[in-house]
Amino acid sequence: MQDADPPPGHGEHRYAFQLFALGAGEPFRGTPGREEVMRAIQERGVASGMLIGTYTRPDGSIKAGGTQGAVA
């Protein structure tokens, strides 16, 4: 996966993350594909949520993963 690091001066970027809680069941074997994940959500999904955040990097002085300007 590529780092979430917008180009300097490129403006605001939105990032959306979907979260799903699954009830008890068989664990995935290895890394599941889209179809297996969708089936598990349909059969065992008990809750869901979404987190949307924005990030702007006005210049090249701060790199992703750094601690400068971090929010606690």
List pLDDT tens digits, range 24-48: 999 999 999 999 999 999 999 999 9
Is 60 exceeded by the pLDDT of residue 68? no
Mean per-residue pLDDT, 17-24: 95
CA atoms within 13 A on the CB side of 49: 4
Which one-letter amino acid corresponds to residue 23? G
Gap between the Cα atoms of 14 and 12, Å rounded: 7
pLDDT, residue 60, reads: 58
Angstrom distance (rounded) from CA 23 to CA 40: 9
Confidence band of 72 (pLDDT split at 50, 70, 90): very low
36 beta partners: none
Question: What mean pLDDT do residues 12-23 have?
Answer: 91
Q: Which residues pair with 49 in a beta bridge?
A: 19
Task: Write down the pTM of the prediction.
Answer: 0.57
Query: Does an H or E element contain 56, and which?
Result: none
